[in-house]
Amino acid sequence: MRIFVTGGSGFVGQRVVRRLTTDGHQVLGLARSERAAELISASGGRPVTGDLADLAPNGEQAGWTGALTDCDAVIHAAARMEFWGPDAGFRRDNHVPTIALHEAAAAAGVGRFVLISAASVSSGSQRAAVVNEATDNGRPNTAYSRVKLATEQALLSAVTPTMSTVVLRPPFIWGAGMTTVTELAELARTGGWTWIDQGRHVMDFVQVDNLAAAAELALTRGRAAGIYYVTDGRPMSIRDFMTPLLATQGVDVSGARSVPLWAAASLAAVLDGSARLLRRPKPPMLTNWLVTFLGHDRSYDITAARKDLGYRPEVELAQGLADMTLTASSSSLWSKTPGVQP
């Protein structure tokens, strides 16, 4: 197949491009910088110079959209992902370009559009402990997730007779190469790591290569207008997951302090509310979203993905952690070698 991928230079996108090219697909990757083009090429894809911001909301096509011609599918993995900020910015940066890309793909005769969305669209006011595709989404408690949900709804309701759309909803994405873990490790090193309720709440996660596998399956399988949660299929307590995850970076958080949920929620309400009132560009150290994320049980039923996509998690926890440890060790070795860059 000939596949157009956005976000191909990112953490998820690189894995998607590499998997697709390894399996014999021809991959075109949108690249808005020379560095992005290098990363796409290194993963086996062919860079297409352009930017999603070039897509006009009035339907006028950017020059690079000509690359969509003769493509069988699009995997849209690009997104601005932050859990702070007003809705307007995410509509501008995520929603409008996604709608325009979807329209351009349909106009070019693309047969399948795969959107990598987020499981957080069912966070916020939704308090179900186990969620599936039929669960009411409630009202997401961040602009990022609210806009993601609105984008899903717009794409799935669009009339595109020759193009079907499939939505994947991954939760916390982890694996070698993730930047979030270095930020969390630095927080822990400086004494800033704190558990909520001893980290006992149960969550779901997805290893990045498992998500890439699901994206490949969604190219040819799955219901038109189908939504699928994609996880590792192994819900765990936050403590049982985060402790070994941070250990790959040489950090031990097993003995870190803990605060009860009620205390964290009360503090977050004050800090979050004040920051919003003052229109702070950066989030406070504790937000309502973070308390919801760390302080409530939430797992996702992947029965639909197993049945419709044929999805089976390939990378187990131990293997994924070992890969992260190896990557961290290699990075440390390179950084200590004068004059050498990895």
pLDDT in tens, 102-135: 999 999 999 999 999 999 998 766 667 888 888 8
Residue type, 113: F
pLDDT in tens, 209-228: 999 999 999 999 999 999 99
Lowest mean per-residue pLDDT among 19-28, 176-185, 202-211, 254-263: 176-185
Lowest mean per-residue pLDDT among 140-149, 244-253, 330-339: 330-339
**Residue partners of 279: CB distance under 8 A and separation at least 6:** none
What are the boundaries of each domain within the chain? 2-178+206-235+300-315
The DSSP call for residue 289 is H
What pLDDT is stored for residue 55 in this prediction? 86
Per DSSP (E only), the strands in the chain are 2-6, 26-31, 46-49, 73-76, 112-116, 130-131, 164-169, 172-174, 195-196, 202-203, 205-207, 226-229, 236-237, 258-259, 299-300
**Residue partners of 144: CB distance under 8 A and separation at least 6:** 80, 81, 82, 83, 85, 90, 94, 118, 120
CA distance 261 to 287: 13
What pLDDT is stored for residue 163 in this prediction? 97
CA distance 163 to 68: 13
What pLDDT is stored for residue 127 in this prediction? 65
Model confidence at 336: pLDDT above 60: no
The partner residues of 76 in beta bridges, in order of sequence, read 6, 115
What pLDDT is stored for residue 59 in this prediction? 53
CA distance 231 to 301: 8
Instruction: Tell me which of 190 and 240 has the higher pLDDT.
Output: 240
What pLDDT is stored for residue 340 in this prediction? 34
Per DSSP (E only), the strands in 133-257 are 164-169, 172-174, 195-196, 202-203, 205-207, 226-229, 236-237
Q: Are 102 and 68 in contact (CB under 8 A)?
A: no
CATH architecture of 2-178+206-235+300-315: 3-Layer(aba) Sandwich (3.40)
Instruction: Count Cα neighbours of 285 within 13 Å in the Cβ-side half-sphere.
Output: 6
Q: What is the mean pLDDT of residues 195-207?
A: 96
